[in-house]
Amino acid sequence: MDIFEGRITSCGFISGDRLVLGYWKDSPFGSFSDIMWATPDGKKILIAPNQEIGDYISSMYEFDIVKIEEIKVEEDINQIKIETKDISCHFEWGNGISFLTKKRPLWFVSSVEYLFGWLIFGTKTHGKTKNGKKEWYAVDRLSKLISAKAYINGEDIGEFTSFYPKANFGFSDPPKMPSSVLVRSHIE
């Protein structure tokens, strides 16, 4: 089983762009970041730090374009800055709320957490990937974004807003509420 432990930060912008930043501190590939970007016209773009990670992620989720670019990351306790050739962004979040204990079985994530995630946030904590693998998202802490700023190709894309419309990268979209989530993704 592949386990990715880290943070997913996501929101929309008034430009119509939607960004999902993955910052994985521990994974089968070591520490890395990736960006899933949905453009206003519905194009789905993955920015990955190398071909191996790009191939792995794009085998499980739907993208129109996969870009391999250097991704620079600066992280602090409640903020993250990410920069690539195309995108520069800075996200800051509040303290948030913790969920249960970290040591909980995957059946709990796919049943009880799934129900609450769907009812409260409109997200799925369990499903099948494009290539038929099973995936579980065990959420450890959910924090609401208090600020977000992003530039695409040097242009300010405006104020941050809800993650809407859905991007449909995979079986679940991030919460509609602009958020940063400490999460463990299990893939089998």
125-181 residue pLDDT tens: 899 999 999 999 999 999 999 999 999 999 999 999 999 999 999 999 999 999 999
The phi, psi pair for 87, rounded to 5°, reads: -125, 140
pLDDT score at 113? 83
Residues 2-14 have a mean pLDDT of 97
Q: What six digits make up the tokens of 128?
A: 């099948």
Q: Would you say 82 and 8 are in contact if contact means Cβ atoms under 8 Å apart?
A: no
Q: How many other CB atoms are found less than 10 A from the CB of residue 112?
A: 13
pLDDT at 88: 97
Grade residue 118 by pLDDT with cuts at 50, 70 and 90: confident
pLDDT at 108: 87
Task: Flag whether pLDDT at 103 surpasses 80.
Answer: no
- Tens of pLDDT, residues 32-44: 999 999 999 999 9
**For residue 87, which of 52, 145, 48 has the smallest C-alpha distance?**
48
Collapse the DSSP code of 58 into the 3-class scheme (helix H, G, I; strand E, B; otherwise coil) and give the result.
Answer: helix
Tokens of 51: 């071909």
Q: What is the model's pLDDT at position 100?
A: 66
Q: How far is CA 9 from CA 21, 75, 132, in A?
A: 5, 12, 25
**Sequence ranges of the domains in the chain:** 2-187
How far is Cα 179 from Cα 162, in angstroms, rounded to an integer? Answer: 9
* 3 state SS of 169: coil
Distance CA 127, CA 5 (A): 18
What pLDDT band is residue 97 in, cutting at 50, 70 and 90? Answer: confident
Average pLDDT value for residue range 80-106: 89
Answer whether residue 101 shows pLDDT above 70.
Answer: no
The stretch 89-112 carries a mean pLDDT of 86
User: With 80 as the cut, is the pLDDT of residue 102 above it?
Assistant: no
